[in-house]
Structure 1
Amino acid sequence: MKTQIYKGAFLLLISSCILSCQKETKEVNQEQNVKEHFNQQLDGFVQKLPSVEQRAPFPERLVVSPKSQALMLGEKGEGYSNILPVNVQTEEYEQAKQFEEQLLFSDDQEIFYPGALVKAQTVVDGSYLPIAAPRKPITLSVSLQGKQGVNPSVKVENPRLSTVRTAISDLLAKDFQVPPANIIYSYEEVHDEQHLKIAMGGSYNGTATKVNASAGFSYSREKTRFLVKIQQVYYTVDLDIPTNPSEFFAENFDYQTAFGNVKPVYISSIKMGRVLLLGIETSLSKKEAEAKINASILSGTFDAKAEVEYKDLQKSSKITGRVLGGNAKLGGEAITSIEQIKKFVTEGAGFDKDNPGIAVSYKLRELGTNSPFKTVIYSKYFKKSNKISFDLLIKDNMKSISGQHKPTGRGYIRRLNKKNILSENQFYFSQGGISPILAYEKGENLQIEFRYDKKEESNILFDITSEIDKLLDLTFKNGENPYDIDKNGLLVKDKDGKYVLKIGIHNAKIE
């Protein structure tokens, strides 16, 4: 009897266990089905979403015809006793430039970490709104080379700013071989505040604000402005790209509201290091300033010659700089001297515990396609377009290099404008050899040609374009004219280097 009772109880227990296991299996299967359904729905939703619309990129182009702005020739404290208003032509341009990698020169970095999701439309407008959602683990890796057995990757549970920072910190504590930083030198001319985003290569509004403050530009003054960037990249942190969008998300959420009506983007790679940013505002011409910037700051040598060129640049310029990232010795310090720039380049040019890198640039990818997201930055801005009118005086004073007089033949002024339209005017010494040149601007070509009727004599051509271009960058002190033909005049050589001609430039007037 007892045996039968035990058997019955045992069978009942087995039945209960089987029913319980079946119930649990059913619940697991149901939960799995719910997750699979959610994943399929989310992947399908993202697949159907269009990419965010952006402007098609295009090179710089003129928007409107020139208009005059009243500016000042000379400034107080620069040795000018007469400060006279002149009219300088300004032209409005626009440009849409595409960037796959963008500079992040900002202390506001809580949005920018590998794996962060951002609404695509806000990338286009520069506000960068993050997408908050329950996340699955992600895998990050660094580009540093470790010793044998050192794993350069880490799995991040519940990825968000704090957990990603902790994971990267733990990863960098491993035994890596640290190579010297990859140094990237670059500079861009900045025409006005609207042009700054394109010049710096960053769409984030916070970056533009920080760069503008660090560069110290005064856009109301008639100066030439340059933005110089020296990036030291220690390593990159890269995200393992998901096969499907659902691999990013741990559980159901209102993704339709979170994503909006276009595919989101995510940060797939970040360069870590530090950046030196220099704002240069100068009264030098663009050509002169570029030559000195290249010979000093961007030379990478910082020898005696570079120091001389930098000091020459400083005499006519205001230079303001700041370092973001790296150790505390230079971080946040105002950079103005060549010694400080040299210190930045030569000291701390590699990652270590005392010289931590920060995010200096980043790359985006589109969720669903994983295609690199190339941000198009649009800007409309004004550029000065000085025009000058003057009288060109030519006398019968052409000589060979050896000093012998050379008869001039018939003389012509050849002018090729920016639209490649050629005009020619013959001048006559009987009329004083004076040829009025009206509204000349950079980008034109101006030549003096002497033609001979005899077949055995070749025409002689003097290209004076570069010399006339310099006039647009000159401010004459007290009305002095360095090209008065009755005093010094201007000596020019012909294109073959065989003859010399002294010409005069009188009554020059910027329009």
Structure 2
Amino acid sequence: MQTQISVKAALFALSSAVLFSCQKAENAENPNAIENVNGFISSLPSVEQITPFAERLVTSASSRPASMFAKRLAVSGEGEQYEQAKQFEEQLLFSDDQEIFYPGALVKARTVVDGSYLPIAAPRKPITLSVSLQGKQGTNPSITIDNPKLSTVRTAISGLLEKDFQLPPANISYSYEEVHDEQHLKIALGGSYNGTATQVSASTGFKYDKEKTRFLVKIQQVFYTVDLDIPAKASDFFSEDFDYRTAFGDVKPVYISSIKMGRVLLLGIETSLSKKEAEAKINASIMNKTFDANAEVAYSDLQKSSKITGRVLGGNARLGGEAITSIEQIKKFVTEGAAYDKDNPGIAIAYKLRELGTNETFRTVIYSKYFKKFDTGRISFDLVIKDNLQTIAGQSANTGRGFLRRLNKKNILSENQFFFNNGGTTINIPAYEKGEELSIEFRRNGEDNIIFKLPSSETLLKTLEPLQEGQHLYDIDKNGLVLKDKDEKYILRIGLHNPKSE
């Protein structure tokens, strides 16, 4: 009897080994066997992206190949070409075209980088989603979805939202960005999807060939998030063999791991005001968030010199269908329907991506090369001159009599003598504009006259742009601006204080 048992055990072990060997051989012969997908994914590199960098002036050394970019639009006015590569962990989705964007959706990584977002179709295992809404006692905020795809995920989320959840207020954020041209729009938006850029471009109606300043204001109300349970390994996503080598390509794919649901208001502002003037009005009205009488006055002032076009995406049908132009409508957007309920469910307005296999957050780098204009109007400031004339070698020099010279656009020269009091003097320079020239001349008896030319108004306006309110262009107490005379024999340190663009 013992012998019979031993023989049966041996036969069972032998058959199991043979079967396992056959399966291994079959898998080796089938390159698309699902058991091999983890190894294949591990062998793939991450998609290559440009290294992020801050905004910089385009030079022959820094510029990427021109063939990689659309032709730059012709823009009137003074300006220079800049480039920037900005990294985003979360991206705005402002588009009616949303069939690609649901938790668990697989996307080819290269198409995320180029903005086309091509989905990957594959036989899928069940996934589990949960919402960030707080359920009342006994309410399960999660659901498992068999055969996940757009239709089944939508149905499951709709069913999940029928449960008894508490109704929290929306998480509201306000922001705005200047938009320099069409190429800069994706960075200003914070969204790489081509559909988002196309829809926003159509909604704002910006005309980049006009001498205007443009801003994009975003008010985002997040009701809740829908989040995917992260797969322990890549094969947890797939239910059977398929041609994943072709589907994935030569880099690791990505998947949508989280969706923010809510609504968003985008306002396109195209104005004849200077950047600083427009920003002051935007901050005093929309970004004020109180929408009080002062905000209404600031918005009215902004509207007089601007074209303002807005659209709501998400929320209930009445608000979502309105064109937003007035501050009353903006206030109504913020105060009415600012929380989730069954009549105001929200739509996908932002999303996060992860890399399949590593589950690391996929941070999309958006590159843009754009034409950045600067104010070409007028600038007023206080010119501070110290009695600190020196030779290039650093020796003190005689100033003689000092004159401020101003050559206007009609080539008419005016000059005013100035005198030092306690080692310095301050001269107010009003409405310095393009085409004018300012210079400081020292006339010295028995010695050569010395002339220092000040920067042009365009250069000063360009320097003024990034400064905060109250900052000096060049602070005399912090080294100031060092000028060289036209013969480069002398230097003079001056200050340009209290600048104001007009």
Place the TM-score, normalised by the shorter chain, in its bin: 0.7 to 0.9
Pick closer, same or farther for the CA change 1:409–1:50 going to 2, 3 Å.
closer
Q: Name the residue aligned to 2:326.
A: 337
1:328 Cα shift? 1.0
Q: Does 1:466 align with 2:499?
A: yes
Which of 259, 283, 295 is equivalent to 1:294? 283
Unaligned runs of 5+ in 2: 1-14, 61-71, 379-404, 408-413, 428-438, 465-472, 478-492
- Partners of 1:136 and 1:248 within 8 A in 2: yes
Report the residue type matching 1:269 in the other structure. Answer: S
Q: Secondary structure in 1 aligned to 2:85?
A: strand
Q: Secondary structure in 2 aligned to 1:330?
A: helix
Q: Does 1:322 align with 2:311?
A: yes
Which of 209, 221, 237 is equivalent to 1:220? 209
- Partners of 1:96 and 1:379 within 8 A in 2: yes
Report the residue type matching 1:229 in the other structure. Answer: K
Q: Secondary structure in 2 aligned to 1:230?
A: strand
State the TM-score, normalizing by the size of structure 2.
0.73
Q: Name the residue aligned to 2:454.
A: 437
The 2-side partners of 1:300 and 1:268 are apart by: 32
Map residues 150-165 of structure 1 onto 2, 5 A cutoff: 150-165=139-154
1:291 Cα shift? 1.2
The 1-side partners of 2:24 and 2:332 are apart by: 59
1:298 Cα shift? 1.5
Deviates more, 1:35-44 or 1:189-198: 35-44
Report the residue type matching 1:47 in the other structure. Answer: S
Aligned length: 404
Q: Name the residue aligned to 2:355.
A: 366
The 2-side partners of 1:303 and 1:33 are apart by: 75
Q: Does 1:109 align with 2:98?
A: yes
The 2-side partners of 1:351 and 1:113 are apart by: 19
Map residues 19-58 of structure 1 onto 2, 5 A cutoff: 38-58=33-53
Which of 184, 206, 231 is equivalent to 1:195? 184
Pick closer, same or farther for the CA change 1:447–1:251 going to 2, 3 Å.
closer
Pick closer, same or farther for the CA change 1:160–1:396 going to 2, 3 Å.
same
CA RMSD of aligned residues (A): 3.7
Pick closer, same or farther for the CA change 1:231–1:429 going to 2, 3 Å.
farther
Q: Does 1:98 align with 2:87?
A: yes
Q: Secondary structure in 2 aligned to 1:298?
A: coil
The 1-side partners of 2:442 and 2:83 are apart by: 40
1:278 Cα shift? 0.2
Cα deviation, 1:134-161, whole Å, max 9, x if unaligned, reads: 0000000000000111110000010000
Map residues 348-367 of structure 1 onto 2, 5 A cutoff: 348-367=337-356
1:428 Cα shift? 6.0
The 2-side partners of 1:33 and 1:177 are apart by: 55
Q: Secondary structure in 1 aligned to 2:36?
A: helix
Cα deviation, 1:93-125, whole Å, max 9, x if unaligned, reads: 000000010000000000000000000000000
State, as a whole percentage, how many aligned pairs show the same letter.
69
- Partners of 1:188 and 1:226 within 8 A in 2: yes
Unaligned runs of 5+ in 1: 1-22, 72-87, 399-405, 414-423, 450-459, 475-511
State the TM-score, normalizing by the size of structure 1.
0.72
The 1-side partners of 2:258 and 2:136 are apart by: 23
The 1-side partners of 2:25 and 2:135 are apart by: 42
Cα deviation, 1:197-239, whole Å, max 9, x if unaligned, reads: 0000000000000011111211110111000000000000000
Map residues 233-312 of structure 1 onto 2, 5 A cutoff: 233-312=222-301
Pick closer, same or farther for the CA change 1:387–1:147 going to 2, 3 Å.
closer
Which of 103, 109, 114 is equivalent to 1:125? 114
Pick closer, same or farther for the CA change 1:266–1:315 going to 2, 3 Å.
same
1:264 Cα shift? 0.2
Q: Which structure is larger by alpha-carbon Rg, 1 or 2?
A: 1
- Partners of 1:391 and 1:435 within 8 A in 2: no
Q: Secondary structure in 2 aligned to 1:307?
A: helix
The 2-side partners of 1:303 and 1:194 are apart by: 36
